[in-house]
Amino acid sequence: MQCEKAFRYAPKEIEFYKRFTIPLPRLCAECRHIERLKHRNKLDWYTRACQCAGEKSENEVYQNLGQSHQSHPASEHCPNEFETTYPPDSKEIVYCEQCFQAEIV
């Protein structure tokens, strides 16, 4: 996508980019926002089961570090179901709130 809209950099914006050694954007703010929106999930909701399978994730990609899962013993698959914007065929691992919190705390 090539932005053909004329735009100016604000002096404070140039100062910010120079201070953090960030290259100046080549697209206007509106085009940059549209590009960011392309990376968001669609607003479709899917019912999914938690992929926490005790010591590992369901697809065995992630090794669980959390020891105390409130919804299930650490050696069993989590029974929780919930709604998420990640479709069932996505590569991301989705955990229920309790398993997620057990992993990050």
54-86 pLDDT tens trace: 777 777 677 777 665 666 666 677 888 999 998
- Same-domain check for residues 26 and 64: no
Per-residue confidence (pLDDT) for residue 41, from 0 to 100: 79
Compute CA distances 19 → 7, 22, 25, 26, whole Å.
21, 8, 15, 18
Query: Same structural domain for residues 34 and 73?
Result: no
Q: Could you tell me which of 16, 28, 39, 48 has the C-alpha nearest to residue 57? A: 48
Spatial neighbors of 38 by CB under 8 A, at least 6 apart, are none
Which domain covers residue 15, as residue numbers? 9-40
Asked whether the predicted pLDDT for residue 1 surpasses 60, the reply is no
Q: Give the rounded percent of residues in the chain with a pLDDT score beyond 70.
A: 84
Q: Which has more confidence, 55 or 1?
A: 55
pLDDT level of residue 104 (50, 70, 90 thresholds): confident
Average pLDDT, stretch 76-97? 87
Q: Is there a domain that residue 1 lies in?
A: no
Domain co-membership, 14 together with 63 = no
- pTM for the whole thing? 0.57
Same domain membership, residue 97 and residue 62: yes
